[in-house]
């Protein structure tokens, strides 16, 4: 078994980016945040700008894929929780985006863990792209 593969109690391999902290069950509700948590959430969002959608070449924040983000304390660990979508539910590169997100947040902030909740409602559409994202897409030759 590779070092990137985890096991559950049934000894079935688990995708390392779909662990007990992440799910495809949809959005979680954001709890109240302290000023310190809000500041850390802002930092996490900034580092998520380094996570590039492999198909479009634009970061996930400016593409409008990050629906919500907050910080939780659990079991003496600081966790960044992200409700996020993809440009398509059938995206074959989900694991690439999840890996980049975990590296961006955990390696660069005070967060110990990342929880990704994949959300499909509302469905992503081009109207969710930020003005900065639109400029980046135009620079790449897309008509938006």
Per-residue pLDDT of the chain in tens (144 residues, 90 and over written 9): 333 333 334 443 344 345 456 555 666 778 789 999 999 999 999 999 999 999 899 999 999 999 999 999 988 999 999 999 999 988 888 999 999 999 999 999 999 999 999 999 999 999 999 999 999 999 999 888
| Domain presence at residue 132 | yes
How far is 112 from 131, CA to CA, in rounded Å?
32
In a domain? residue 115? yes
Distance CA 81, CA 45 (A): 11
* Structural domain contains residue 40: yes
Asked if residue 13 belongs to a domain, the reply is: no
CB of 30 closer than 8 Å to CB of 70: yes
What CATH number should be reported for the domain holding residue 71?
Answer: 3.30.300.130
pTM of the predicted model over 0.85: no
Kindly state whether residue 81 falls inside one of the protein's structural domains. Answer: yes
Residue 95 half-sphere exposure, CB side, CA atoms within 13 Å?
9
> Of 47, 90, 95, 86, nearest to 63 (Cα)?
86
Asked whether residue 9 is domain-assigned, the answer is no
Q: Which domain holds residue 41?
A: 19-139
d(CA 55, CA 64): 15
Residue 44 within a domain = yes
Q: Is residue 10 part of a domain?
A: no
CA dist 25 and 35 (Å) reads: 29
Closest to 104 in 3D by CA, of 38, 51, 41, 65: 51
Q: How many domains does the chain have?
A: 1
């Amino acid at each position: 078994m590779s070092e990137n593969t985890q096991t559950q109690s049934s000894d079935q391999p688990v995708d390392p980016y779909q662990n007990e902290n992440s799910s495809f069950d949809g959005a979680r509700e954001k709890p109240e945040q302290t000023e310190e948590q809000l500041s850390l959430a802002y930092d996490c969002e900034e580092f998520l700008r380094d996570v590039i959608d492999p198909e479009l070449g634009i970061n996930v924040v400016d593409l409008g894929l990050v629906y919500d983000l907050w910080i939780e304390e659990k079991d003496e660990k600081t966790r960044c929780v992200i409700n996020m979508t993809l440009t398509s539910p059938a995206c074959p590169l989900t694991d690439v985006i999840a890996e980049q997100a975990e590296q961006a947040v955990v390696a660069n902030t005070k967060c110990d863990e990342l929880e990704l909740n994949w959300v499909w409602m509302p469905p992503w559409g081009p109207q969710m792209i930020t003005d900065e994202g639109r400029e980046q897409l135009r620079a790449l030759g897309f008509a938006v």
